[in-house]
Amino acid sequence: MLKLTYVSHSAFILNDGENTLVIDPFFTGNPTATMSADEVKPDWIILTHAHGDHLGDGLSLAKQHGSTVIAVNELANYVASNGCSAHNMHIGGAYNFPFGRVKFTIAHHGSSTHDGQYMGEPAGVIITMGGRTIYHTGDTGLFLDMKLIGELNRIDVMLAPIGGNFTMDIDDAVQATKFVNPDIVMPIHYNTFPVIQADPNEFKAKIECIGKKCKVMNYGETIVFD
């Protein structure tokens, strides 16, 4: 069983009945979030990169709840230097955690703190938990290696940015979905800020045109996979 809750932007809460994992916990200052950071008690936090709209409340949540933050080496060291528990990984590496398996993938983007400290490479992440495999691409442009990710992994749910400007737009995300070939794709990283406006229903229509399934999640919505 896997419960998947969409906070908004790139933030998700995963729960398998025992473990709560939050990806890119951007609650405070997130204009589209309908939940606050107080409503989540993560055991684990996965960060795709250090930008403020992804690191979000990561440090304060980790301190408050003793969560372990999983991130690439440079960002994990930064998290640890702020007094939080961290598990250092890097791109191409996978590890079996008590809740499931995490593998970091490439993402074409940047990763620094708000004051410009280098935080290593940005990443995407493939998480197997509660019997499902989720590919959160992180912030990225389109890249051909997504084809390899799709060939080597049976992806149940792909979480793909569609907002453009900083990441893939709708058409690039449609191409990415063709490459990865997931069961379902869900649009993320759109309509949070003025420069990333995109119509998720246009994305859904284009995905259905290529014979794939798309689910547009509402802010705060939860889906349960049995």
Rounded CA separation 116/48 (Å) = 17
Any contact of residue 139 with Mn ion (CB under 5 A)?
yes
Binding residues among 50-89 for Mn ion as defined by CB under 5 A:
53
Torsion sign across C-alpha atoms 109, 25, 62, 43: negative
Residues found near Ni ion in the complex (CB under 5 A): 51, 139
Smaller CB distance to Mn ion: residue 76 or 188?
188
Smaller CB distance to Ni ion: residue 81 or 114?
114
Any alpha helices (H) in 66-102, and if so which ranges? 73-81
Taking residue 64's Cβ as centre, other Cβ atoms within 10 Å add up to 14
Smaller CB distance to Ni ion: residue 24 or 126?
24
Any contact of residue 172 with Mn ion (CB under 5 A)?
no
Report the DSSP pairing between strands 100-106 and 94-97: antiparallel
For residue 49, the minimal CB distance to Ni ion (Å) is 6
For residue 172, the minimal CB distance to Mn ion (Å) is 15
Smaller CB distance to Ni ion: residue 51 or 103?
51
Residue with nearest beta carbon to Ni ion = 51
How would you label 159-170 residue by residue, b for 16+ Cβ within 10 Å and e otherwise?
Answer: bbbbbbebbbbb
Q: What residue ranges bind Mn ion (CB under 5 A)?
A: 53, 139
